[in-house]
């Protein structure tokens, strides 16, 4: 379902939250670092550069993304695993369990946090960033089009992304024995090219929809969505401004006293 080339059209804008999150992880010398939702692995490699003595494991559910990751970034110290992120089992506890823009695709965030917490070593850190723009015009327009009679039946069971409020993650992780820092940032990206917001969405939000619809119906879906996005996000001479809100959590497991 995932297309590495499409995802990387806005590579630098998608990379920035990763490094903003990474800057707040204070772990000095982890033995095992895990990247959940590693995609093509170029940012997994950045974790290896941050912690050059650590064993690095990238985990993703997409065979296409992992094929590119293994071809370009696998080494004696950096490995990749295909697994469902909600059920992944690791070879040992992670000193840093890191996830950038992946967990919003998973259901039941309370159960997810419990599972992920169980993968973190004592004194280790769970750090994640999730998109939180599901009430933005871009996503409201996607929902408007997918609800049209032509598309609704075919897309009824296609998963939607979601994010819980920051207080939700704080409450659950404190209850699981973590000290938590949590914050929200709205980036104002300036996207280049024609139909820029549509092209952005085709790298992420729209992938499950167009894959399910197939070529002909996907074209009709995108042709319906395109003018709505152009109206909500008018292009400027310098590009298309695109606000995007993300939520960040850095949680450290408190060692037993």
Q: Where are the domains of the chain?
A: 4-253
C-alpha to C-alpha distances, 217 to 206, 212, 222, nearest whole angstrom: 13, 9, 9
d(CA 79, CA 114) in angstroms, rounded, equals 25
The secondary element (H helix, E strand) that includes residue 137 is helix 137-146
For residue 1, pLDDT beyond 50: no
d(CA 3, CA 11) in angstroms, rounded, equals 13
Sorting pLDDT into bands at 50, 70 and 90, what band is 47? very high
Nearest one of 128, 150, 141, 159 to 201, comparing CA atoms = 141
Mean pLDDT lowest for which of 12-16, 17-21, 87-91, 136-140? 12-16
d(CA 209, CA 14) in angstroms, rounded, equals 21
In this prediction, residue 13 carries a pLDDT of 87
DSSP 55: E
- For residues 228 and 144, the answer to whether their CB atoms sit within 8 Å is yes
For residue 79, pLDDT beyond 90: yes
Q: Where are the beta strands (DSSP E) in 86-119?
A: 94-100
DSSP 106: S
Cβ count within 10 A of residue 13: 16
Describe the crossing of helices 11-22 and 42-50 by its angle, rounded to 10 degrees. 30
Specify the pTM.
Answer: 0.92
For residue 163, pLDDT beyond 60: yes
Burial class from Cβ neighbours inside 10 Å (0-12, 13-18, 19+) for residue 130 reads: buried
User: Counting every residue, how long is the chain?
Assistant: 257
- For residues 103 and 225, the answer to whether their CB atoms sit within 8 Å is no
For residue 52, pLDDT beyond 60: yes
For residue 8, pLDDT beyond 70: no
What are the tokens at 120?
Answer: 């973190």
3-state secondary structure of 36: strand
Query: Which residues have a Cβ under 8 Å from the Cβ of 87 and sit 6 or more positions away?
Result: 115
CATH of domain 4-253: 3.40.50.150
């Amino acid at each position: 379902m995932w297309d590495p080339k499409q995802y990387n059209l806005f590579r630098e804008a998608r990379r920035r939250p990763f490094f903003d999150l990474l800057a707040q992880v204070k772990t000095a010398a982890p033995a095992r670092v895990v990247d959940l939702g590693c995609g093509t692995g170029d940012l997994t490699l950045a974790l290896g550069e941050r912690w050059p003595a650590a064993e690095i494991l990238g985990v993703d559910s997409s065979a296409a993304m992992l094929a590119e990751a293994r071809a370009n970034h696998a080494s004696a110290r950096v490995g990749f695993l295909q697994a469902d992120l909600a059920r992944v089992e690791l070879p040992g506890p992670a000193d840093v369990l890191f996830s950038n823009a992946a967990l919003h695709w998973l259901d039941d965030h309370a159960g997810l946090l419990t599972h992920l917490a169980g993968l973190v070593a004592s004194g280790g850190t769970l750090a994640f960033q999730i998109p939180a723009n599901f009430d933005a015009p871009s996503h409201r327009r996607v929902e408007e089009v997918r609800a049209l009679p032509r598309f609704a039946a075919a897309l009824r069971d296609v998963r939607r992304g979601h994010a819980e409020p920051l207080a939700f993650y704080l409450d659950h992780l404190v209850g699981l024995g973590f000290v938590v820092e949590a914050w929200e940032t709205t980036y104002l990206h300036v996207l280049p090219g024609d139909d820029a917001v549509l092209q952005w969405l085709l790298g992420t939000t729209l992938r499950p929809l167009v894959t399910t619809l197939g070529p002909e119906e996907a074209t009709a879906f995108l042709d319906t969505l395109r003018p709505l996005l152009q109206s909500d996000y008018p292009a400027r001479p310098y590009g298309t401004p695109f606000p995007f809100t993300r939520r960040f959590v850095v949680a450290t497991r408190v060692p037993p006293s």
